[in-house]
Amino acid sequence: MTDSPDPNTEGPTGYACIQSYLKTLDSSPGVYRMLDQQSRVLYVGKARNLRARVSNYARPGGHTPRIDRMIRDTAGMMFLTTRTETEALLLEQNLIKQLKPKYNVLLRDDKSFPNILVARDHDFPQIKKHRGAKKEKGTYFGPFASAGAVNRTLNQLQKAFLLRNCSDSMFETRTRPCLLYQIKRCSGPCVGLITKEGYADSVRDAERFLSGRSTKVQEDLAAEMQKASDAMEFERAAALRDRIRALTSVQSAQGINPRGVTEADIVALHMDSGQACVQVFFIRANQNWGNRDFYPRVAADMAPAEVMEAFLGQFYDNKEPPRQLILSHPIEDSDLMAGALSEKAGRKVGILTPQRGEKAELISGALRNARESLARKMSESATQAKLLDGLAEALGLDGPPQRIEVYDNSHIQGTNAVGAMIVAGPEGFMKNSYRKFNIRGDDLTPGDDFGMMKEVLTRRFSRLVKEDPDREKGQWPDLLLIDGGAGQVSAVAGILTAHGITDLPFVGVAKGVDRDAGKEEFHRSGQRPFALRHNDPVLYFVQRLRDEAHRFAIVTHRAKRAKAIGSTPLDDVPGVGATRKRALLSHFGSAKAVSRANLADLKAVEGISAGLAQKIYDYFHDGG
């Protein structure tokens, strides 16, 4: 790959600028970037022939208003040549996700999807939810559209196959069966209530079910139930009946279970008034494993083919594509896209736009979902816009805020203290932008909310000033909401002034008389506090923002506290990972007993070498 020279931001702009690059280009495939006068990326595109593609932009006329604006703003270009057009397509989508250019279709929600993992590093495999890189040894089933879809399926699979979901460390330390065994969600392998072979049979049945061979599993269970009934083992027959019902429950919850589609993503696009919704249904093993809606950033003059192609490229940039993509709208370079995805997956990936049959019916259902989802989204956006206008009027802002940051703290008598920041804007809560802060201040008095807030805001704005001093990356808030009254507002004013920030509106929201919701007082620096009408929609909006910040702070605090409760002194011993920690706890019974053990006893533990035993002993004694 080669790069072009840096763009000349002081030279010509628009058509003249683009024409000046033509003499440096050849017919190689590659990726081009259009830059404005501040060298910000306006657009990223791919080309089979860079010279031919760029020459199209150099000719006035025939462009949409959006492309005309982009050309007028162009003050420089950059080029990367590639060996093939497929390589250019992959690079283009990767750059779009990194750079988020103004004039490209942009997929804003790019979370990973959960899977079900049947672990294979234990004699009695665990079944659990898994998200992220597939590094653990085992069999993965997915993706599922959401954590909820996984949890529902896991819940029913536990009823049907009685597989454990406890951690290995908990499994090793059990002396009697847990509650899940009592409510018939686990077969109790931890205390020997099922043989290794019997448990392996259950694991095999679960994997068959998740692989789409559910009919065979249910037939086998039905045969076992009949056999138990004939032998008058009615309790066992009833248990098998319940397991069959659990499997049926999974299938009914999935809704759509196409017979002719084994593995595919159903991708349907609906556009209206310059907005778009893409619905993706995940079909695996002839089962519907859920659906998700996405709202890519588009322009009113973009064609469905352009939006669909951009969505596919960005969506599968960090995800493994299925064997088939079934689309509601054809894309221009379907062969190129199929080739790129096949190369990425290491196997063939087909792309089709069906006109009739079962696949067309699947697309019809997905389109209906996309249409209804976009209508709801547009309605919610209109309501949100009115609320932001009302908030701006109530607080005397210059205009409706595009990014509101709300802060709160959570702790129990000063322990496990955390700060939380939530973000809201024209499209509601922006959960990808939420942040948590582990309170570090060793000199803070337990329960010092002022000190905690000062630490959180100092860290937040020190970083903003350092990373985005010109406020060009969209990370600066237009409004701060603080949980508290005049004292908190005064503290915030001091923090912002110390960072040289004098133009950022901030408001303290304090509980009013008797700390009742609906009697909140609003505090601004240097002004008298005021209240809104009890039934003012803007007041309800502020309450929702504050409640969301409080919820997020509490959830973050609980997670930190749970982690602290589950930790032991062994976590800090160099060289002791999860496996050796489990071996030590299993051998000695507790971390306290490990700390008191002599060197010879430590060496006797399986997996603990003489050198590591010495390290552990030294850590807990004077040599540590």
Which tens digits make up the pLDDT trace of 456-490? 899 999 999 998 888 887 889 999 998 888 888 88
For tokens 């004694």, what's the residue? 621
Residue 381 pLDDT: 86
Give CA–CA dist 523/507, Å, rounded.
6
* Class of CATH domain 404-564: alpha beta
CATH 1.10.150.20 fits 569-620, yes or no: yes
Phi-psi region of 327 (alpha: psi -120 to 50; beta: other; left: phi over 0): beta
Cis check: omega of the bond before 304, within 30 degrees of 0: no
Give CA–CA dist 270/353, Å, rounded.
15
Cβ atoms within 10 Å, residue 519 = 15
Whole-angstrom Cα Rg for the chain? 30
pLDDT tens for residues 340-375? Answer: 999 988 999 999 999 999 999 999 999 999 999 999
User: Could you say which residues of the chain have pLDDT below 70?
Assistant: 1-10, 110, 213-218, 236, 243, 246-257, 411-416, 441-448, 512-518, 563-568, 622-624
Residue 64 tokens, joined: 């949409």
Residue 7 pLDDT: 47
Give CA–CA dist 282/519, Å, rounded.
47
Count of CA atoms in the C-beta half-sphere (13 A) of 93: 24
Residue 437 tokens, joined: 């802060």
Q: How many residues does the chain have?
A: 624
Quote helix, strand, coil % in the chain, to nearest 5.
Answer: 45, 20, 35
Give CA–CA dist 416/67, Å, rounded.
53
Residue 167 pLDDT: 85
Cβ atoms within 10 Å, residue 252 = 10
Give CA–CA dist 533/511, Å, rounded.
14
**14-99 CATH:** 3.40.1440.10
Residue 55 pLDDT: 93
Q: Are 154 and 133 in contact (CB under 8 A)?
A: no
Residue 596 pLDDT: 84
Alpha carbon separation from 591 to 3, 416, 565, 617, 618 (Å, rounded): 57, 21, 13, 12, 15
For tokens 């139930």, what's the residue? 225
Using alpha carbons, select from 145, 137, 9 the residue that is nearest to residue 73: 9
Amino acid at 197: E
Using alpha carbons, select from 127, 92, 126 the residue that is nearest to residue 106: 92
Residue 9 pLDDT: 46
Options 3.30.70, 3.30.420, 3.30.300, 2.40.128; CATH for 263-375 is 3.30.420
For tokens 């054809």, what's the residue? 330
Alpha carbon separation from 333 to 306, 309, 313, 603 (Å, rounded): 10, 8, 11, 64
Q: Are 42 and 74 in contact (CB under 8 A)?
A: yes
Domain layout of the chain by residue ranges: 14-99, 115-254, 263-375, 404-564, 569-620
Which contiguous run of DSSP H or E holds residue 495? helix 486-498
* Same-fold call for 263-375 versus 404-564: yes
Cis check: omega of the bond before 401, within 30 degrees of 0: no
Amino acid at 297: R
Residue 518 pLDDT: 61
Residue 68 tokens, joined: 């005309």
**pTM (two decimals):** 0.73
Written as one string, the DSSP assignment of 369-394 is HHHHHHHHHHHHHHHHHHHHHHHHHH
The dihedral built from the CA positions of residue 449, 453, 454 and 456, taken in this order, carries a sign that is positive
